[in-house]
Amino acid sequence: MSEIVLALEALRCGYGQATVIHGVSLKIMRGEAVALLGKNGMGKSTLLKGIMGFLPRQAGSIAFGGDTLVAGQPHTLAARGIAYAPQEKAVFQDLSVEDNLRIAVSDPRRFRIGLERIAGYFPFIPQRLRQKAGTLSGGEQKMMILGRALMAQLRLLLIDEITEGLQPSVIERISGVLQAERNASSIAMLIVEQNVKFALSTADRFAVLERGELGEHGPTNMPDAYARIIAELGV
């Protein structure tokens, strides 16, 4: 039986008086990955911040697992199994890798279990716990951010342009990690991307965001998905 994990209904949000997201409706089911594509400045990151409650909701609703979210309470989302890997590097540069990870999971037993979970995906992480996070390479920092998000048992993962600046082999590895996590624990994902190939190979459905509204969308396995997206993005 399918279960709705995230339901957006005519969501509007933005910055101050300015509206960036003009009424987005979207449902994501348990175990489903949706890729959100779009040109620079179309509102992809704004939509994720709106879902997380970092921005005030101007209209519409956000429901998680059937419960309508109370806007502006991002700290309650972790307890609901929602994690967010932001586009900007969310790394405390002067803290150790371990302290960066403890921000996600502070309970010592859960931390150990979480670390074991992600060690299989990113073996360098347990080996570098004492290293200052700011001295990891750019790609390693990105993997640490994703690893941090995956330490807790999740129901929904929001990822913002994880592949930006990464070499192809690391991108492939991340795609493998996301697919393994979905198979193992049926996490739902909303994956914001510019890398169309990564998005199509990782997600079940895609949607293109155009000036804060959803445009072209469909299953990623439809034969002309790539061509449609490229046409809509004009690249």
Ligand X SMILES: Nc1ncnc2c1ncn2[C@@H]1O[C@H](COP(=O)(O)OP(=O)(O)OP(=O)(O)O)[C@@H](O)[C@H]1O
Per the CB < 8 A criterion, the answer to whether 106 and 56 are in contact is no
Q: How far is CA 53 from CA 11, 17, 76, 132, 217, in A?
A: 12, 16, 10, 30, 25
Number of residues this chain uses to bind ligand X (CB under 6 A): 11
User: Which residue in this structure is represented by tokens 């190939």?
Assistant: 197
- By the rule CB under 6 A, 43 interacts with ligand X: yes
- Residue 186 interacts, among Mg ion, ligand X, none and using kind-specific CB cut-offs from 5 to 8 Å, with none
Going from the C-alpha of 165 to that of each of 91, 141, 142, 168, the distances in angstroms are 16, 11, 10, 9
Is residue 194 close enough to count as binding Mg ion by CB under 5 A? no
Structure tokens belonging to residue 21: 């997201």
- Of the residues 10, 41, 93, 103, which one makes contact with ligand X according to CB under 6 A: 41
Residues 42 to 61 in contact with Mg ion, rule: CB under 5 A: 44-45
> Measured from the CB atom, is 87 or 185 closer to ligand X?
87
- The smaller minimum CB distance to ligand X, of residues 80 and 211, is found at 211
Q: Which does 58 bind (CB under 5 to 8 A by kind): ligand X, Mg ion, none?
A: none
Sign of the dihedral through C-alpha 89, 184, 180, 216: negative
CB of 40 to Mg ion, least distance (A): 7
Separation between Cα atoms, residue 74 and residue 51, nearest integer Å: 9
Q: Which stretch binds ligand X (CB under 6 A): 37-45, 59-67, 140-148, 225-233?
A: 37-45
Whether 27 contacts 223, CB under 8 Å: no
What residues between 46 and 75 interact with ligand X by CB under 6 A?
A: 46
Nearer to Mg ion (CB atom), residue 22 or residue 44? 44
Each residue of 120-147: b (16+ CB within 10 Å) or e? ebbeebeebeeebbeebeebbbbbbbbb
Residue 201 in the binding site for Mg ion (CB under 5 A)? no
- Binding residues for ligand X, rule: CB under 6 A, are 15, 20, 38, 40-46, 87
- Binding residues for Mg ion, rule: CB under 5 A, are 44-45, 87
